[in-house]
Amino acid sequence: MATFSGTVGLTVKIVLLGLVNGVAIWAATVLASNGKWPAVGVLALTTLAIDAAYIARRALPLKFLIPGVVLMLAFQVIPIFYTVNVAFTNYSTGHILAKDEAIGAIKENSLSAAESGKSYLMTPARDAEGKLVLLLVDEDNRATFVGTREGLEPLPQNQVRSGENGIVAAEGYTVIKGNELFALDRELNALTIPTTGSAAIRPEGLDAAVELQPTLRYEATRDQFVRISDGVVFRDNGEGSFVATRGDAELEPGWKTAVGFDNFSRIIHNPLIRDPFLRVFAWTFAFAILAVLLSFVLGLLLAITLDHDGMRFQRGYRSLLVLPYAVPGFLSLLVWQGLLNDDFGVVNELFHLDVPWLFDGTWAKVSVILVSLWLTFPYFFLVSLGALQSIPAELKEAARVDGGGAWQVFRKVTLPLLLVVVAPLMIASFAFNFNNFGNIYLLTGGGPQASDQTVAGSTDILISYTYKLAFASGKGQDYGLASAIALIIFFIVASISALTFWRTKALENVR
Amino acid sequence: MSILDGAREQPLPLGLERADEVVRTKRRRGWRKELRATWWRHVVGILAVLFSMFPLVYVASAAFNAVPSLSGAEVIPDRLTLHNFGILFHDESTHFFRWYANTLIIATCTAIITVLLGALAAYAFSRFRFKGRRMGLLGLLLVQMFPQLLLIVAIYLIVLQTGKVFGFIGLNTLTGLILVYLAGAMSVNVWLLKGFFDTIPAELDESARVDGATPSQVFWGVILPLAAPVLAVIGLFSFIGVVNEFVIASVLLQNSEKFTLALGLRSFIDQQYAEHWGPFAAGVLLSAPPVVILFLFLQRFIVSGLTGGAVKG
C-alpha cells in the first residue's frame, strides 16, 4: 500500500510522464529530420492529450486506459483499417509506389544508351561529407567532372591527377579502392546522375559510365507518356498503370491506387483466382469441421472408456494422453513432418508402408487431419471427462430404472447434457482451426502443389493461402488480393464468433 | 482472505478435482476380478497412449541415438550419445541459445506487460462509469473478432514503415514483435480481467477510498494483490501462447540471430530431415519441457474454461 501513496506515487507519475514527453520529443525530431510532418503532428497531438489526461484532476478512467489503448490503436486497430483500405487497392508487386514516384521510376527506367551518347572513365570516390560521388573523365575530350545525385559539375584539371584509366586522385575527394569498391556494387548500380534535359549518366561496371537518353517523354499537362521513337501514347488506365492507346503495352512500374471492388470481383469472375479460391475455401471448411468432429469423437470415446469406477491407472492414462496437448504445437508439427516423410519416415518404416504422406494431394490432406486429431483430441478428452463427471449419476440411474438401455441412456441423457458444455467449445475450436495456420504451414507448407499449378497448394487453407499471396508465393506479392481474402475470412469467423457470443450472452456484461 | 479463496475455488465447475478423489478413495479390489471386468478398457487406453506417445518417444530416443538419421533408428538406441547436442550447439546453421534467449525474452516481456496493461484497462471498465464505456467494451469485443493473423499484411507494412524511421521497433527487432503481441492480446485480456474484477466486491475499494486512498492506490494496493493468482494464470497462458506463435514472428523476424525457437528450429530442420534429425530432436528435448510443465500445471484452468476454449495447434 505504502508504495504508491502520496509523494512516491506523484514522483513516479512525474518521472513517467517526463519520460513519455522526452521520448516523444526525440521521436518528433527524428520524424522531422525524415520529413514526415504529418506524423509529427499526430505525435504532438497524442502526447499533448496524454499530458492533459494525466495532469488533469478529472478524466480518471483515461489514466488507466491510455497505455493499453494507445498500443492497441497502433498495432491492432490501425491495421484493421489499413487492411480494409488495402483490400480496395491494387497494392501488389509492380503497384507499390505512389503515382508521382512511379512516374519518376518510369522516366528513369526509360533511360537507355543513345548512339550519340558520351562515355566516361569512372572513379568512385567520397566527398568531404562521405557521400558517394563519381569522378569522371570524358573519353572524347578528356574533360573532367564530378557527378553527384544532384548533377554533373566540371572539375578543374589542376585539382586532379589522372592515369590511363581515369582519375587517380582529386583534391577534396577520397578515391574508393579494393574491397570497399566491390562492396559498393549495388549502391553504384542504383546511382543515376542527371545531366542536361532528361538525360543522365549511369555507371557501367566499376570503372566506366555512359550517358543515357530517355526513350519516353512525360507530358504533365495531359498526364501521359509519349514514346519518342514512334510517338505511341501511354495513358493512365485508371487502374494504376500507363497503357498504350494502341495495343496493350504497359509501362513498368505501376502505382498503388484505389480499385474499388476489383479484388473481390476477381475472386468471383477471374477463373485463375476463383477456382483455387473455391478449392481452398471448401477444404478450409472440411478441414476445420473434420478436425473438430474427429477430435471430439475420439476424446469422448476415450473419456467414456477410461472414466469407469473401479478401473485402475485412470490418472496414469490421463496424464499420458494429455501430453501431446502440452508439448508446444510447433515442435509436434515439425516432428510429425519428419515422421511422415515417405523416404525415411518412421511411420512408413514402422508399418512397412509406402505411402506418400506429404507428397500426394489426397494423402497430405489425410496427414493434416490425422496430425490435427493427434494435437486436439486430448483437449476434448479432458473436457469430456470433466463434463461426464459433472452429470449427476442419479439422472442416468433414473433413466435406467425407466427401462432405458445403455445406448439409449447415452443418446437421450448423457450426450445432450454433455453437448451443453462441449458445443460452445467445439464452435470455438472450429473458429480456431479455420485459421489454424501453423497446423498447415508447419506440416505440409500448404503443399504439395495442386494440379492447377497455382499458388494455392492441396492443403492450403484460406489463411495460409493469404499468407502465400502476400509474402511467399515466388510469383510476386499481391497485398490487395490477400487483404480482400482476409476480409472474407473475417466475415466468416466473425459470424461464428457472434453466434458463440450470442449463446454465452457475453454481451450482457457490457451493462 | 475470503476473496482469494473464492478466486481459487471459482474456476472448477467441471469437477476434475473430484475425479482424483474418487480414484484415490476407491476400494481396493482383487486384480483378477477387476481385470476381467475392465480389460478392454485397458486395451483401448494402451492403444490411445501408444498413439499419443509414439512421436514423443521417438524424438526422445533420436536425441540420444548415435545413428544420425531417421531411417533405421531403433526406438531404444543401441548406443547412446550426446553428440547431437554438440551439433545443435555448435553447428553454424544454428544459434540455438540465441533462439532460446529470444523466445524467453519475448515471452516473458509480453506476459508481464500484457497482464499489467490489461489489468489497468480492465480496472477502469470495471470500476468507473464514464462516457463511452459501453462503446469501448463493444469496441474491444469487435476488435477481438479480428485476429492479428488476418491483419498480418497490414502489420507487416506498418512495422516496415515504422522501422524505416525508428529502427529499434522495425522489422527484425524483438521490441517490434513484443509491441505487436501486446496490442493483439489487449482486447481478450481486458474482457477476461474485467469479468474477474467485477467479482471483487466494490465495498473493498470503497472502504479504502474512505480511508483516503486514491484510485491508483486502490488499484495497486487492493485490486492487484487480490487478483494476483488470476493475473499469474493469464500471464502464463500468454507466455505459452507467445512461445507457440509462428506466423507473426515469421513475418517480422528475418535474421537467423533474431529468430525465436519456433522459427529457428523450423529453419534448421526444413528440407533437411535426413541430416538434421538428431540435433533437431535434441533441440525439441531442450525446448519442450518448460512449456509442458507450465501447461500441466495450468491444465485445470483450461478445462474450467478460464481461457474460453483455448485450443492450439
Q: How much is the average pLDDT of A455-471?
A: 86
CATH of the domain at A63: 1.20.58
- A75 contacts in B (CB within 8 Å)? 148, 155, 158, 179-180, 182-184
Domain boundary among A214, A232, A259: A214
Chain B residue nearest residue A13, CA to CA = B216
Do B295 and B178 have their domain in common? yes
- Its domain, for residue A203, covers 111-214
CATH of the domain at A153: 2.40.430
Give A169-216 pLDDT, tens digit per residue.
787 888 887 777 777 777 777 778 887 777 788 887 777 888 787 888
CB contact under 8 A, B183 and A490: no
> Quick check: A204 and A121 in contact, CB under 8 A?
no
Q: How far is A355 from chain B (nearest CA, A)?
A: 15
Q: How much is the average pLDDT of B111-116?
A: 94
Task: For residue A264, tell me if it sits in a domain.
Answer: no
Do A76 and A126 have their domain in common? no
Indicate the residue type of B44.
V
3-state secondary structure of A133: strand
Edge-first strand order for the sheet with A242-244 is A216-219, A224-227, A233-236, A242-244
Task: For residue A222, tell me if it sits in a domain.
Answer: no
Given CB atoms, is B149 within the 8 Å cutoff of chain A?
A: yes
pTM confidence score: 0.81
Task: For residue B87, tell me if it sits in a domain.
Answer: no
Do A63 and A135 have their domain in common? no
Task: Give the model's pLDDT for residue A238.
Answer: 78
Do A198 and A287 have their domain in common? no
Q: How far is A453 from chain B (nearest CA, A)?
A: 21
Give A114-159 pLDDT, tens digit per residue.
766 778 888 888 887 778 888 888 877 778 888 887 788 887 877 7
Do B162 and B209 have their domain in common? yes
Task: For residue B89, tell me if it sits in a domain.
Answer: no
Task: Give the model's pLDDT for residue A292.
Answer: 93
Domain boundary among A179, A194, A214: A214
Task: For residue A254, tell me if it sits in a domain.
Answer: no
3-state secondary structure of A454: coil
Cα separation of A318 and A301, whole Å? 13
**B115 confidence band (pLDDT: 50, 70, 90):** very high
Do B61 and B178 have their domain in common? no
Do B73 and B105 have their domain in common? no
Q: Is the Cα torsion angle A299, A304, A307, A311 positive or negative in sign?
A: negative
Do A401 and A502 have their domain in common? yes
Do A360 and A479 have their domain in common? yes
Q: How far is B186 from chain A (nearest CA, A)?
A: 7
Do B137 and B264 have their domain in common? yes
Using CB atoms, pick whichever of A305, A315, A433 lies closest to residue B20: A315
Using CB atoms, pick whichever of A72, A307, A372 lies closest to residue B183: A72
Chain B residue nearest residue A317, CA to CA = B45
- B275 contacts in A (CB within 8 Å)? none
Given CB atoms, is B166 within the 8 Å cutoff of chain A?
A: yes
**B18 confidence band (pLDDT: 50, 70, 90):** very low
Task: For residue B15, tell me if it sits in a domain.
Answer: no
pLDDT at B102 over 90: yes
Task: For residue B88, tell me if it sits in a domain.
Answer: no
- B241 contacts in A (CB within 8 Å)? none
On average, the pLDDT of chain A sits at: 82
CB contact under 8 A, A72 and B149: no
Task: Give the model's pLDDT for residue A296.
Answer: 94
Do A210 and A283 have their domain in common? no
Do A149 and A83 have their domain in common? no
Task: For residue A464, tell me if it sits in a domain.
Answer: yes
Task: For residue A105, tell me if it sits in a domain.
Answer: no
CB contact under 8 A, B58 and A330: no
pLDDT at B256 over 60: yes
Could you tell me which residue, A476 or A69, shows the higher pLDDT? Answer: A69
3-state secondary structure of A121: strand
Give A418-460 pLDDT, tens digit per residue.
888 788 788 888 888 888 888 898 888 887 877 777 788 889 9
Contacts of A274 (CB under 8 A, 6+ apart): A266, A267, A268
Contacts of A483 (CB under 8 A, 6+ apart): A83, A84, A86, A87, A91, A263, B153, B154
Task: Give the model's pLDDT for residue B16.
Answer: 43
On average, the pLDDT of chain B sits at: 80
pLDDT at B162 over 50: yes
Task: For residue A232, tell me if it sits in a domain.
Answer: no
Cell of A298: 475420439
Q: How many domains would you assign to chain B? A: 2
Do A283 and A428 have their domain in common? yes
Using CB atoms, pick whichever of B123, B143, B149 lies closest to residue A437: B149
Task: For residue B273, tell me if it sits in a domain.
Answer: yes
Task: Give the model's pLDDT for residue B311.
Answer: 37
> Quick check: A203 and A191 in contact, CB under 8 A?
yes
CB contact under 8 A, A382 and B16: yes
Task: Give the model's pLDDT for residue B69.
Answer: 57
Q: How far is A168 from chain B (nearest CA, A)?
A: 36
Do A422 and A500 have their domain in common? yes
Do B76 and B101 have their domain in common? no
Do B73 and B99 have their domain in common? no
Query: Which of these ranges, A47-61, A252-266, A482-496, B47-61, has the smallest mean pLDDT?
Result: A47-61
Do B115 and B55 have their domain in common? no
Given CB atoms, is B224 within the 8 Å cutoff of chain A?
A: no
Task: Give the model's pLDDT for residue B5.
Answer: 30
Contact residues, B window 292-311, toward A, CB-based 8 Å cutoff: 292, 295-296, 299, 302-303, 305, 308-309, 311
Which has the closest alpha carbon to A330: B291, B147, B235? Answer: B291
Q: Is the Cα torsion angle A142, A148, A149, A153 positive or negative in sign?
A: negative
Do B37 and B77 have their domain in common? yes
- B58 contacts in A (CB within 8 Å)? 335, 339, 346
The DSSP line for A322-361 is: HHHHHS-HHHHHHHHHHHT-TTT-HHHHHTT----TTTSH
Task: For residue A453, tell me if it sits in a domain.
Answer: yes
> Quick check: A313 and A306 in contact, CB under 8 A?
no
Task: Give the model's pLDDT for residue A508.
Answer: 53
Task: For residue B149, tell me if it sits in a domain.
Answer: yes
Mutate to test the interface with B, among A335, A374, A477 (most CBs of B within 10 A): A335
Do A41 and A160 have their domain in common? no
Torsion of Cα atoms, A301 then A306 then A309 then A311, to 10°: 150
Task: For residue A47, tell me if it sits in a domain.
Answer: yes
- B109 contacts in A (CB within 8 Å)? none
Task: For residue B22, tell me if it sits in a domain.
Answer: no
Do A388 and A469 have their domain in common? yes
Task: Give the model's pLDDT for residue A388.
Answer: 85
Do B101 and B74 have their domain in common? no
Q: How far is B268 from chain A (nearest CA, A)?
A: 11
- Its domain, for residue B175, covers 95-303
Q: How many domains would you assign to chain A? A: 3
Do A75 and A140 have their domain in common? no
CATH of the domain at B257: 1.10.3720.10
- A447 contacts in B (CB within 8 Å)? none
Task: For residue B308, tell me if it sits in a domain.
Answer: no
Do B67 and B184 have their domain in common? no
Name the burial class of residue B271, with classes exposed (0-12), middle (13-18) and buried (19+) by CB atoms within 10 angstroms of its CB: exposed
Q: How many Cβ pairs closer than 8 A exist between chain A and B? A: 336
Give A289-305 pLDDT, tens digit per residue.
999 999 999 999 999 88
**Strand-pair category, A144-147 with A174-175:** unpaired
Do B130 and B99 have their domain in common? yes
Q: How far is A375 from chain B (nearest CA, A)?
A: 7
